[in-house]
């Protein structure tokens, strides 16, 4: 059985890192990641340059990526200006962002959930005409840093608001990584009553070390697509010092050893993590990275 992996480190990972990585280093990092066989990667975001300095080189970076990598890439766009930039740079897929908690969207983008989705309507109309695929991130699907536990019905309501967008995939984010498999089960049982399982991807964070347990539960319930970040890059902006995104190494080790097909080389992902680790001058929290890096460096 094939499991799809969406690599999010160049965007979701790096945007949370304070040390600025140069465009050339990002290019090399992305090339190394794609050598592993990954079929989907989120490479950057077209936000206002002052918003996220780490991603302010999105135009320059995009000009350096090969068409092959671009055909496997998505880019995050916050508004129509970002969308135009994505289009101009030859991307065929964009990602937009909302959440299942009004406090979270209010604090982050100063809009309610409804307002945030309304703000994407122009993009969705254009994407339909331009033949651009849309991926939607919904954050805080299990817990919110401000509201605590999020009732699954709130997530369902949010998804219902997206019906005109025709997203090919909705990435369900446990943004603070607080969820356990029973939370994931309750959520998916409700969503899969109404929507097909291939509409969803799991985006788990490893703050409490629960990410793989949530992946395993999601697979059991029919989910075949997951987001992860090489080296677990990203940190967690809501819990200082805690690990952030599920590391691609940990996801791959789990999937490969469990007999699933991924098409991705674990060794090559670890090499990519090792490259970016040196640039960021940071430790990699992934257990699989720590276990395997001595062997890989030997060779």
Q: Site residues (CB under 5 A) for Mg ion?
A: 12, 245
CA–CA separation, 106 and 219 (whole Å): 32
Three-class secondary structure of residue 245 per DSSP: strand
Minimal distance in Å, beta carbon 214 to Mg ion? 13
DSSP assignment of 95-149 equals EEEEES-HHHHHHHHSS-HHHHHHHTHHHHHHHHHHT-EEEEEEE-SSEETTTEE
Gyration radius (Cα) of the chain, Å: 18
Which of 21/87 has CB closer to Mg ion? 21
Is 110 exposed, middle or buried (CB count within 10 Å of its CB: 0-12, 13-18, 19+)?
exposed
End-to-end Cα separation, the chain, in angstroms: 31
Which of 82/202 has CB closer to Mg ion? 202
Minimal distance in Å, beta carbon 247 to Mg ion? 12
Q: From residue 160, how far is each of 155, 156, 157, 273 by CA, in Å?
A: 9, 6, 5, 37
Minimal distance in Å, beta carbon 14 to Mg ion? 12
Which of 12/206 has CB closer to Mg ion? 12
Which of 87/202 has CB closer to Mg ion? 202
CA–CA separation, 260 and 215 (whole Å): 13
Among this protein's residues, is 236 annotated catalytic? yes
In this structure, is the dihedral angle defined by the CA atoms of residues 45, 46, 52 and 58, taken in order, positive or negative? Answer: positive
Pairing of β 148-149 and β 143-144: antiparallel
Partner residues linked to 41 by β-bridges: 7, 73
Minimal distance in Å, beta carbon 12 to Mg ion? 4
Minimal distance in Å, beta carbon 6 to Mg ion? 11
Which of 243/245 has CB closer to Mg ion? 245
Minimal distance in Å, beta carbon 245 to Mg ion? 4
Separation of CA 96 from chain center: 11
Residue of 94, 142, 172, 236 marked catalytic:
236
> Residues with catalytic annotation?
236
């Amino acid at each position: 059985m094939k499991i799809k992996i969406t690599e999010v480190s160049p965007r979701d990972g790096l945007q949370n890192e304070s040390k600025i990585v140069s465009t050339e280093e990002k290019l090399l990092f992305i090339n190394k990641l794609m050598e592993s066989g990954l079929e989907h990667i989120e490479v950057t975001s077209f936000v206002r340059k002052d918003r996220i300095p780490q991603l302010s080189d999105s135009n320059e970076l995009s000009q350096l990526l090969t068409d092959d990598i671009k055909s496997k890439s998505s880019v995050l766009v916050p508004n129509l200006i970002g969308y135009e930039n994505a289009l101009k740079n030859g991307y065929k897929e964009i990602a937009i962002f909302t959440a299942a908690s009004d406090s979270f969207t209010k604090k982050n983008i100063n809009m309610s959930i409804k307002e945030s989705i309304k703000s994407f309507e122009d993009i969705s109309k254009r994407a339909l005409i331009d033949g651009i695929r849309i991926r939607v991130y919904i954050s805080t699907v299990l817990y919110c840093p401000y509201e605590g536990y999020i009732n699954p019905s709130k997530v369902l309501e949010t998804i219902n608001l997206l019906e005109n967008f025709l997203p090919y995939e909705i990435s369900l984010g446990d943004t603070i990584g607080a969820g356990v498999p029973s939370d994931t089960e309750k959520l998916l049982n409700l969503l899969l009553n109404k929507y097909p399982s291939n509409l969803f991807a799991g985006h788990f964070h490893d703050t409490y070390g629960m990410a793989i347990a949530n992946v395993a539960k999601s697979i059991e319930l029919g989910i075949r697509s997951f987001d992860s970040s090489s080296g677990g890059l990203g940190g967690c902006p809501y819990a200082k010092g805690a690990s952030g995104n599920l590391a691609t190494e940990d996801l791959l080790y789990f999937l490969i050893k469990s007999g699933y097909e991924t098409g991705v080389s674990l060794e090559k992902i670890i090499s990519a993590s090792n490259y970016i680790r040196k640039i960021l001058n940071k430790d990699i929290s992934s257990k699989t990275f720590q276990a395997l890096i001595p062997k890989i460096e030997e060779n």
